[in-house]
Amino acid sequence: MTTRSLNETYENYREQAITQRRFSPELVQQLLAKLPSAFKVEEIGKSAEGRAISLVKIGKGSKKILFWSQMHGDESTATAALFDMFNFFGSMYSSISELNFLKDEILKHSTLYFVPMLNPDGALHWTRRNSQQIDLNRDALALQAPESRILKDLQQRILPDFGFNLHDQNNYYTAGNQPTPSTIAFLAPPIDYAKTINLTRQQAMQVIGRLAGELQEFIPQGIAKFTDDFEPRAFGDNMQRWGTSTILVESGALAGDAEKQTIRKLNFILLMRATELIARNEYSTTNLQAYHQIPTNEKLLKDVILRNVQHPTYPNTRIDLAFNRSATPLAPAAQGLPAFAEEGSIDDIGDLSIYFGYETLDCTNYQINYTGTLAVGQNPTLFIKDAQNQVVATVENGFLKRNL
C-alpha cells in the first residue's frame, strides 16, 4: 500500500534543513534555488514587504493540481511537507519499485503546482495575517493584499482541477466528542450557504473520504472534518466556486509532537497519496458516506483543567479552572534557537465538565492559594494544597506541575 511505503521510506525524503515549526522565508528561497532542473521555479510576485513568492512546477500530465501553504504566516507544517515532496519527486530511484512507479505515474498523468509559503511576511513575523494586517483567507473577494491577488491570478491562469489549501489549527480541537486531539482536519469547503454539493465539491469529498480511511492506520482517533459553514470571503470556498475541487487540510495536534514534525510527515504521506488518487483517477468511485462519517472538529480541549476547585474567595462555590497556553515567537526566526515562548492564561472558569484536558487534576480534596488575579485572561500562579497544607501541585504560566 502506498501510504505504508511512504511511511517506511520517509526519512529518505525529509528535507533536513527544516527541523522545527518556525523557519524563515529566506530558507525557503535557498531551498527553492537548489531544486533540480526537473522543477520549474518562477517568482510569481512579491509580498507587501517585498519578499518573493514562488511557484514550483513539475510533471506533464493533464490533471492539474495546485498546492498552496502558509497563507497564514504562523501555519507552517505543510510548507515543510511540500519540501519533502520536492525531495521525493527530485530523488534518484527508490529501492521500492512501487514508489518508482508512483513517481512516474504521477508525473505522467498530472502537473503539480506548488506555492510554498504564500505569506512570507507573516512567516517571518510569525503572525497569521500579512504585514498589512489583512487575513488573506478573508480577502478572496476584496483582493486588497498582494498575496491574495497572486493566488487568485494563479488559479485563473492555471485553472487547476484540484487545489490543496494547507493550514494549521490550534491544539484545542478534538476529532468528535472525545479527548484525543484532531491531528488532521479535512474539509471540502462549501460553495454556498446551502452547502450544495456540485461535482467540483463532490470530487474533493471523494478524495478526502479515501484519505480519511487510509490514515486511520496512523491516527485512528485523530481525523476530523472541519466546520463546513460557508465563508464567502475565504479562498477555499471561492476556489471551489471557481471550479477547482478544493481540499482544506488543517494540521492540528498530536501528543508529544510540539514541533509538529510527525504531523509534517503525515502531511507528506497524505498529500502524496492524494496526488496519486487524483493522477490515477482512483477516487471517483468513493462513496460520499466515507466523507460524511468523518467525526466533526470540536473545540473541546484545554491545556490544563483543575476540576472541583473550592473558590478561594467564595468558599461555598465549586468551580473548574482551565488554562491554555499560547506561543509567542522569540525574535528573529533562526534555526537552532528556541522559536517560541509559551505563555499561559486562564481560559475559562465555571462548569467545564464538557471539556477535556491534556492534563487534569481533581481538586475536590484540596485548597487553592494563588498570586496574581483569578480571572479569565489572567495568568496567576496557583498553589494546590492538601489537608496537611502541603503543596501537591502548582500551576505556573499555564503549566501543571505535580509534586508527587
Indicate the residue among 3 and 137 with the shorter CB distance to Zn ion.
137
Give the interface segment with Zn ion, choosing from 61-69, 74-82, 213-221, 253-261 (CB under 5 A).
74-82
Q: Does 161 bind Zn ion (CB under 5 A)?
A: no
CB of 122 to Zn ion, least distance (A): 10
Give the interface segment with Zn ion, choosing from 64-72, 140-148, 214-222, 364-372 (CB under 5 A).
64-72
Give the interface segment with Zn ion, choosing from 41-49, 86-94, 161-169, 230-238 (CB under 5 A).
161-169
| Distance of alpha carbon 304 from alpha carbon 302, whole angstroms | 6
Indicate the residue among 81 and 382 with the shorter CB distance to Zn ion.
81
CB of 184 to Zn ion, least distance (A): 14
CB of 212 to Zn ion, least distance (A): 20
Indicate the residue among 29 and 127 with the shorter CB distance to Zn ion.
127
In the three-class reduction of DSSP (H, G, I as helix; E, B as strand; rest coil), residue 153 is classed as helix
- Total Cβ atoms within 10 A of residue 341: 12
Give the interface segment with Zn ion, choosing from 80-88, 162-170, 182-190, 312-320 (CB under 5 A).
162-170
CB 87, CB 13: distance < 8 Å: yes
Q: Does 135 bind Zn ion (CB under 5 A)?
A: no
Give the interface segment with Zn ion, choosing from 44-52, 77-85, 164-172, 255-263 (CB under 5 A).
164-172
CB of 82 to Zn ion, least distance (A): 15
- Taking Cα atoms as reference points, which of 57, 40, 45 lies closest to residue 120? 45
Q: Does 75 bind Zn ion (CB under 5 A)?
A: yes
Query: To which residue does cell 504521477 refer?
Result: 106
Out of 14, 63, 72, 152, the only residue in the binding site for Zn ion (CB under 5 A) is 72
Name residues whose C-beta falls within 8 Å of residue 94's C-beta, 6 or more positions apart in sequence. Answer: 9, 12, 100, 103
In the three-class reduction of DSSP (H, G, I as helix; E, B as strand; rest coil), residue 166 is classed as strand
Give the interface segment with Zn ion, choosing from 166-174, 201-209, 221-229, 348-356 (CB under 5 A).
166-174
| Measured distance between the N- and C-terminal CA atoms of the chain, rounded to whole angstroms | 46
CB of 167 to Zn ion, least distance (A): 3
Indicate the residue among 15 and 75 with the shorter CB distance to Zn ion.
75
Give the interface segment with Zn ion, choosing from 72-80, 302-310, 366-374, 392-400 (CB under 5 A).
72-80
Name residues whose C-beta falls within 8 Å of residue 110's C-beta, 6 or more positions apart in sequence. Answer: 59, 61, 62, 63, 64, 65, 275, 278, 279
Q: How far is CA 266 from CA 212, 252, 368, in A?
A: 12, 11, 42
Total residues in contact with Zn ion, by rule CB under 5 A: 3
Q: How far is CA 5 from CA 10, 87, 380, in A?
A: 8, 15, 49
CB of 75 to Zn ion, least distance (A): 5
Q: What angle do CA 218, 278, 5 make, to 5 degrees?
A: 35
Indicate the residue among 150 and 374 with the shorter CB distance to Zn ion.
150
**Position of minimal CB gap to Zn ion:** 167
Q: For the chain, what is the total number of helices (H) and then of strands (E)?
A: 10, 18
Q: What angle do CA 34, 38, 44 make, to 5 degrees?
A: 70
In the three-class reduction of DSSP (H, G, I as helix; E, B as strand; rest coil), residue 101 is classed as helix
String marking each residue 293-332 x if it binds Zn ion according to CB under 5 A: ----------------------------------------
Indicate the residue among 72 and 109 with the shorter CB distance to Zn ion.
72
CB of 310 to Zn ion, least distance (A): 40
Indicate the residue among 239 and 363 with the shorter CB distance to Zn ion.
239
Indicate the residue among 107 and 185 with the shorter CB distance to Zn ion.
185
Indicate the residue among 72 and 210 with the shorter CB distance to Zn ion.
72
- Taking Cα atoms as reference points, which of 219, 218, 308 lies closest to residue 3? 218
Continuous segment of H or E residues that includes residue 3: helix 2-9
| Distance of alpha carbon 295 from alpha carbon 174, whole angstroms | 9
CB of 370 to Zn ion, least distance (A): 35
CB 166, CB 67: distance < 8 Å: yes
Out of 22, 109, 152, 167, the only residue in the binding site for Zn ion (CB under 5 A) is 167
Q: Which residues contact Zn ion (rule: CB under 5 A)?
A: 72, 75, 167
